[in-house]
C-alpha cells in the first residue's frame, strides 16, 4: 500500500497518475477533499481509498503496519501567506507527525521540501546538509520547509529510507486550481488567450534586465519520475535538490509559450507587486549532482520540451495528467 498526501493537488495528483502507469494501484490518497476545484485532478485514477487530511494521523496509527511507502507531498504552499501559525501547523507539525509514524511503523518516506529554503542563494544551491542550518528563506513558507529539514537532520530515529525533495519551479498539468500560485507558464497561456499579450515582472535589480530574471523551471513529469526512482531504488537517504539543473529566463518561458500557441510575441512588463518585491528570487539553479551520483539517469525535459508538451497536450485542451 502506497500513501500520497496532497494527492488532489498539483504534484500529488501527477504522482498518482505516474504510479498508476508504473502498475501501482493500491494507493491511498490523502487531502482536504472539501476543495471541489481540485476534484478533477483525481478523476480516472486508480486508488484504493481516500483519507481526509485531518484524519490521516489517526488512520496511520490504525493501518501503519500495512503501508509500504509514503509520499508526503501535501503542504501549504502559498508564498504570499504570512501567518506563521498556519505553516507551523500544516508544514512543520503535521510533517513531524508523519515522520514519527514512519519511524514507528518502519515506513520509507519521501517528503516535499522546497527551493524556497535557499532564500537569495547566499550559500548557493547545493543540497549539502551542512548548509541547511545557515539558509535564510525569504518568507514563512520557505521558513517552514527549512524548519522541517533542520528538524529532520537533528533526529536520532529515522525511517528505513527517507528523502526530502527541494522542489524548484515546478510547472505542468493539473495546476488549474492554483490561482495566483500557478506557474508562470499557465498564467502566460491564459493571458495570451485572453489579451493576445503577456505581462512579465519588471526587474528591480540592476543586475538583471526586464524578463532576464533566471529560475530553474522543472517539468512535473520529471519530478514524479524522480519520486518513482526513489521508491524503487532507495538510494542513500538525505535531502535532494529537484530542479532541471538549468536556469532559464522568464523571457525564454514566455517566448516558448507564444511559439506553441502559434501567436506573435507580445510581451510587456509591469512592476513586481510590493508585497513580494523584497522577497523575490532573481536567480535559482539546482545543483543536481547529488541525485545523479545516487544513480538517477533519466534525461530531464528542456524548457522547450516541457512547455511544448504542457501547452499542446494539456492547456490547449484543458486536459489532465
Catalytic residue flag (residue 282): no
Find the catalytic residue in 178, 199, 263, 308: 178
Q: Which residue from 199, 214, 280 is spatially nearest to 250, judged by alpha carbons?
A: 214
Q: Under 8 Å CB-to-CB from 17, ≥6 apart: which residues? A: 45, 224, 321
Which residue of the set 24, 141, 171, 219 is catalytic? 141
In the annotation, is 136 catalytic?
Answer: no
The C-alpha angle with vertex 100 and arms to 26 and 143, in degrees rounded to 5, equals 100
Active site residues: 141, 178
Amino acid at each position: 500500500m502506497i500513501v500520497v498526501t496532497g494527492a488532489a493537488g498539483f504534484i500529488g495528483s501527477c504522482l498518482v497518475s505516474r504510479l498508476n502507469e508504473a502498475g501501482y494501484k493500491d494507493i491511498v490518497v490523502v487531502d482536504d477533499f472539501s476543495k471541489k476545484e481540485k476534484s478533477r485532478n483525481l478523476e480516472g485514477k486508480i486508488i484504493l481509498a481516500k483519507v481526509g487530511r485531518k484524519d490521516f494521523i489517526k488512520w496511520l496509527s490504525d493501518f501503519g503496519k500495512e503501508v509500504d511507502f509514503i509520499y508526503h507531498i501535501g503542504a501549504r504552499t502559498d508564498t504570499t501567506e504570512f501567518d506563521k501559525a498556519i505553516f507551523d501547523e500544516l508544514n512543520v507539525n503535521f510533517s513531524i507527525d508523519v515522520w514519527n509514524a514512519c519511524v514507528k511503523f518502519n515506513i520509507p518516506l519521501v517528503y516535499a521540501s522546497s527551493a524556497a529554503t535557499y532564500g537569495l542563494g547566499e550559500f548557493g544551491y547545493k543540497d549539502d546538509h551542512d548548509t541547511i542550518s545557515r539558509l535564510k528563506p525569504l518568507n514563512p513558507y520557505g521558513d517552514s520547509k527549512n524548519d522541517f529539514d533542520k528538524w529532520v537532520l537533528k533526529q536520532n530515529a529515522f525511517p528505513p529510507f527517507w528523502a526530502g525533495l527541494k522542489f524548484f519551479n515546478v510547472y505542468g498539468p493539473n495546476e488549474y486550481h492554483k490561482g495566483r500560485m500557478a506557474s508562470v507558464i499557465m498564467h502566460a497561456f491564459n493571458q495570451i488567450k485572453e489579451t493576445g499579450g503577456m505581462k512579465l515582472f519588471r526587474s528591480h535589480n540592476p543586475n538583471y534586465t526586464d524578463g532576464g530574471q533566471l529560475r530553474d523551471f522543472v517539468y512535473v513529469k520529471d519530478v514524479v519520475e524522480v519520486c518513482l526512482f526513489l521508491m524503487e531504488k532507495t538510494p542513500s537517504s538525505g535531502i535532494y535538490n529537484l530542479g532541471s539543473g538549468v536556469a532559464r529566463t522568464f523571457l525564454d518561458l514566455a517566448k516558448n509559450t507564444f511559439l506553441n500557441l502559434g501567436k506573435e510575441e507580445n510581451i510587456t512588463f509591469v512592476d513586481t507587486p510590493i508585497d513580494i518585491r523584497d522577497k523575490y528570487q532573481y536567480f535559482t539553479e539546482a545543483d543536481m549532482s547529488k541525485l545523479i551520483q545516487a544513480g538517477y539517469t533519466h534525461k530531464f525535459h528542456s524548457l522547450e520540451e516541457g512547455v511544448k508538451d504542457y501547452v499542446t497536450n494539456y492547456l490547449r485542451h484543458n486536459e489532465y495528467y
